[in-house]
Amino acid sequence: MRTMFVAGNWKMNLNHADGTHLATHLAHHRASAAASHVEIAVIPPVIYLQAIHKVINGTHLKLGAQNCWYEKHGAFTGEISVQMLRECGVQYVLAGHSERRHICNEHDGLINKKVQAIIAEDLTAVLCVGETGDQRKAYKTVEVVGEQLAKGLAHVNKRAVEQDQLVIAYEPVWAIGTGVNAKPEEAQEVHVFIRQQLAKLFGNDDAANVRIVYGGSVKANNAYEILRQPDVDGALVGGASLIADEFLGIVDAAARARPLAL
């Protein structure tokens, strides 16, 4: 059974004091005793990674980074290498988040280089895919997501999948920060398609073990119905991750949606 994964992407929010306070609260409180089997990560701005790592080191929380560069070192002003992130205690790194794609104009080729660099350093890549509202209205969800997967995972080998170094995050762009989330059955439908594409790349057995999480206006009051879908393995949470009770409520929903097998 795939372990539920809930990650909070803080984006460009919170200052040092508020971030460490939130991390401290999360490190000492679980949503419920039943949620002990849910894997939880916080993904703060890069400037606070070391501070947050000090707070959560040795606890159940994992640390993630929002972005990286694919070269190990060099004249890349303003960029952060995967090696630097690893030294900060990072275990997960996002690649291809929709805001990086659509605001920063990152293309699939660049995203693929980042995915490969993350995996090469034995960290876990969280590849984000998803369609815009216009693309969905034009019935291009499958085409868009399929292309993002194929190009984003080019040259990624089965070993990385076997070692749990890959998570896919389906984040429909039209649902991010809008308060409108995909209906549970809509999320499940796309997650099934993603798993089918993974099977073509890595085989059925490995595809069955890859965690595919949903992102897009996930909150404590809507998380359970989405997370109880059989191919939804957690959530990549944006705004709700900045509020401790909201985020813990989503973790609790994940635990209830997929109870620990006895």
By annotation, the residues acting in catalysis are: 97, 171
Whole-number Å distance between alpha carbons of 220 and 254 = 10
- The string of DSSP letters for 69-120 reads BSSSSSS-TT--BHHHHHHTT--EEEES-HHHHHTS---HHHHHHHHHHHHH
What is the end-to-end Cα distance of the chain in Å, rounded? 12
Angle of helix 49-56 relative to helix 16-28, nearest 10 degrees, comes to: 20
CA dist list (Å): 103 to 92, 177, 246: 22, 14, 27
Whole-number Å distance between alpha carbons of 87 and 33 = 31
Whole-number Å distance between alpha carbons of 131 and 257 = 26
Q: 124-129 and 61-65 as β-strands: parallel, antiparallel, unpaired?
A: unpaired
For residues 55, 44, 86, 28, the Cα torsion angle rounded to the nearest 10 degrees is 30
Sign of CA dihedral 173, 71, 13, 23: positive
Pair of tokens at residue 199: 């099977």
Whole-number Å distance between alpha carbons of 256 and 254 = 5
